[in-house]
Amino acid sequence: MRPSRICLPAVALALAACGRGPTTPAPSEEPAIVPRPAELEYTGRTVTLGPDVVVSLTGPGSELLAPALDAWTREQTDRFGIAFRPASADEEADLVLTVESVSEAPPEGYTLEVEGERARLAASDPAGLFYALRTLGQLQRRGEAPGTWTLPEIRIDDMPRFRYRGMHLDVGRHFFPVDFVKRFIDLMARYKYNRFHWHLTEDQGWRIQIDAYPRLTEVGACRAETQVEKNFDPFVGDGRQYCGYYTKEEIREVVAYAAERFVTVIPEIEMPGHSVAALAAYPELSCTGGPFEVSTMWGVKEDIYCPSEETFAFLETVLDEVLELFPSEYIHIGGDEAPKKRWEESELAQAVIDREGLADEHELQSYFIRRIERFLTSRNRRLIGWDEILEGGLAPEATVMSWRGMDGGIEAARQGHDVVMTPTSHVYFDYYQADPEGEPLAIGGLTPLDKVYGFEPVPPELTADEAGHVLGGQANVWTEYIATPEHAEYMSYPRALALAEVLWSPVEMRDWESFTRRLPSALAELDRLGVRYRPLDRR
Ligand code: ACM
């Protein structure tokens, strides 16, 4: 990667290199882009576009950008009264978007140039062009004349540091309607996230329609009531039935919506633990036979899938239906927090241990995950799971999501496996973001904005080769104590802005002072979008 370069106001773009200008940065003049681009040069001058903006979109695959460009131009028309018109043949456009297969831009990278009353966006793939548009969207300001914009005269060469830039949402503990899920994805995409990890099954609710097993949603999508605050013992419930699931049609709608924003949706179907809602529907999949109720209390449950042939047949059928809905290469199978007590006590589980020559229940979990991996591989998909899948031996091609700190990720990378870093220490957005005293009830922890900004996904312990296995990072939004869309946004923003910069910008461009200078502009955008983020000065 070339060193980052920020040119100064008054350095003409025409200069061959910014080195010829003065060398002291003028930080207050830097256009406020989050995440900060890899390289930018600006002159401090502005250009005006409008009232009629002629647009061209060309190049291989550029049609994939058409829906996003359409949504974007509508937004500009609503905001600024700008009128857009496609360029006719041979007409020179004001806003030029090109996918150029010859461009040197790396995957998802782009160049953006605003000069001479014209904005030129170019990328070697449609995703890069989408990100160029996201950046342009943060640059425009209302012009003096009605229906016009001003843009800074600027040149940007940008590309992501990491290819996996994720956010997760738990819809098991609390259910979030399709409209909110779409909004969550739209917001992510504005800040150049590209993976939405949809945690669809839990002890407290099964949220995805599966035709072969209708009781998963008839029974598993409803719990009798919900735990009130932290009343575990004695348990206090709210006495109100709580239900919700997504139909296949709704899931297709979300996947398509995300694809238009270059976001891949990774479904999570939890196994062998966090499966009480499924066991309530089909108790024969457990080791004890049940009966079970969909959990009303938070926490880790001892009842998990029994490793019977019936369970594997069930999971493969469920996964086949899931694969039909989600084109994602990665399928998340959970794997975390699966107590081994039921397997220790189960004749069937012990017989599997004997039959397969396994040392203990941890190796049995490994056997379980390997079987599921073999199945996914046979369908040309890849398995990703929480770091407990390391215990008892990692499945051959598995990717590890390291959540209990970085150690699981370090170990997996050393074994030559890919990893996604999601440690509780920095990116659990269900944790408090300020002194709990003034905050709504949260699960615990304390992860303020600057802590998220300081997250480094590549641990210093890794060699360069091993570090190459770190695909990126992800924020996790677990929802035991997050019951509404408003609250989910409050917990996610502005922290998601900080993480966006961690995952996109080169390390040398990451600078807390700079980020806090650019933050007010980003928050103004969130205000405009009606995002109910946590205000910085809230007490
Ligand atoms: C997790 O937070 N149990 C992955």
State the Rg of the chain over Cα: 25
| Residue 95 CB burial class (10 angstroms; 0-12, 13-18, ≥19) | buried
Ligand 1 nearest-atom number relative to CA 424: 2
Average pLDDT in the chain: 94
Q: Would you place residue 504 in the very low, low, confident or very high pLDDT band (cuts 50, 70, 90)? A: very high
Summarised one tens digit per residue, pLDDT across range 89-130 is: 889 999 999 999 776 778 999 999 999 989 999 999 999 999
Contact by Cβ (8 Å): 38, 506: yes
Q: Would you place residue 29 in the very low, low, confident or very high pLDDT band (cuts 50, 70, 90)? A: confident
| Residue 45 CB burial class (10 angstroms; 0-12, 13-18, ≥19) | middle
CA distance 311 to 460: 41
Angle at 310 between CA 272 and CA 382, to 5 degrees: 50
Contact by Cβ (8 Å): 198, 205: no
Q: Which amino acid is at 135?
A: T
Query: Whose structure tokens read 């599921």?
Result: 372
Task: Please tell me what DSSP assigns to residue 177.
Answer: -
From the CA of 336, how far away is ligand 1's center (Å)?
6
- Complete DSSP assignment for 287-340: SS--------S-S--S--B---HHHHHHHHHHHHHHHHH---SEEEEE--S--S
Please, what's the b/e burial string for 188-199 (b: 16 or more CB within 10 A of its CB; e: otherwise)? Answer: bbbbbbbbbbbb
Contact by Cβ (8 Å): 35, 504: yes
From the CA of 295, how far away is ligand 1's center (Å)?
17
From the CA of 300, how far away is ligand 1's center (Å)?
10
Contacts of 151 (CB under 8 A, 6+ apart): 46, 47, 48, 49, 114, 119, 136, 139, 140, 141
Ligand 1 nearest-atom number relative to CA 386: 4
> What is the enclosing helix (H) or strand (E) of 222?
strand 222-223
Residue owning the nearest CA to atom 3 of ligand 1: 336
CA-based nearest residue to 494, from 514, 521, 519, 461: 519
CB atoms within 10 A of CB 442: 20
| Residue 448 CB burial class (10 angstroms; 0-12, 13-18, ≥19) | middle
User: Is the pLDDT higher at 467 or at 90?
Assistant: 467
Question: Residue 105: its pLDDT value, please?
Answer: 77
Q: Would you place residue 10 in the very low, low, confident or very high pLDDT band (cuts 50, 70, 90)? A: very low
Query: Does ligand 1 have an atom closer than 6 angstroms to the CB of 445?
Result: no
Question: Residue 1: its pLDDT value, please?
Answer: 27
Among residues of the chain, what percentage have pLDDT more than 70?
95
Question: Residue 539: its pLDDT value, please?
Answer: 58
Distances (CA, A) of 96 to 62, 109, 139: 12, 16, 16
Report H helices in 493-532: 495-504, 512-528
Q: Number of C-alpha atoms within 13 angstroms, CB side, residue 251?
A: 22
CA distance 232 to 250: 34
pTM: 0.95
Question: Residue 22: its pLDDT value, please?
Answer: 35
CA-based nearest residue to 311, from 374, 372, 383, 254: 372
User: Is the pLDDT higher at 105 or at 24?
Assistant: 105
- Complete DSSP assignment for 36-100: PPSEEEEEEEEEEE-SEEEEEEESTTGGGGHHHHHHHHHHHHHHH--EEEEPPTTPPPSEEEEE-
Q: Would you place residue 503 in the very low, low, confident or very high pLDDT band (cuts 50, 70, 90)? A: very high
> Residue 4 pLDDT > 90, yes or no?
no
Summarised one tens digit per residue, pLDDT across range 331-364 is: 999 999 999 999 999 999 999 999 999 999 999 9
Contacts of 516 (CB under 8 A, 6+ apart): none
Query: Does ligand 1 have an atom closer than 6 angstroms to the CB of 404?
Result: no
Least confident of 41-45, 205-209, 496-500: 41-45
CA distance 364 to 351: 11
Ligand 1 nearest-atom number relative to CA 337: 3
Distances (CA, A) of 89 to 52, 86, 118: 17, 10, 18
Among residues of the chain, what percentage have pLDDT more than 90?
91
From the CA of 444, how far away is ligand 1's center (Å)?
14
From the CA of 403, how far away is ligand 1's center (Å)?
6
Question: Residue 13: its pLDDT value, please?
Answer: 39
Residue owning the nearest CA to atom 2 of ligand 1: 403
Residues across the chain: 539
CA distance 514 to 500: 14
CA distance 40 to 3: 11
Ligand 1 nearest-atom number relative to CA 476: 2
Query: Does ligand 1 have an atom closer than 6 angstroms to the CB of 386?
Result: yes
User: Is the pLDDT higher at 2 or at 275?
Assistant: 275
| Residue 360 CB burial class (10 angstroms; 0-12, 13-18, ≥19) | middle
Contact by Cβ (8 Å): 484, 173: no
Contact by Cβ (8 Å): 412, 390: yes
Report H helices in 361-453: 361-378, 407-414, 424-427, 449-453
Query: Does ligand 1 have an atom closer than 6 angstroms to the CB of 493?
Result: no
CA distance 457 to 176: 29
Query: Does ligand 1 have an atom closer than 6 angstroms to the CB of 336?
Result: yes
Question: Residue 6: its pLDDT value, please?
Answer: 54
Q: Which two tokens stand for residue 507?
A: 């390390």
Query: Does ligand 1 have an atom closer than 6 angstroms to the CB of 403?
Result: yes
CA distance 462 to 456: 12
Summarised one tens digit per residue, pLDDT across range 305-324 is: 999 999 999 999 999 999 99
Query: Does ligand 1 have an atom closer than 6 angstroms to the CB of 80?
Result: no
CA distance 404 to 388: 9
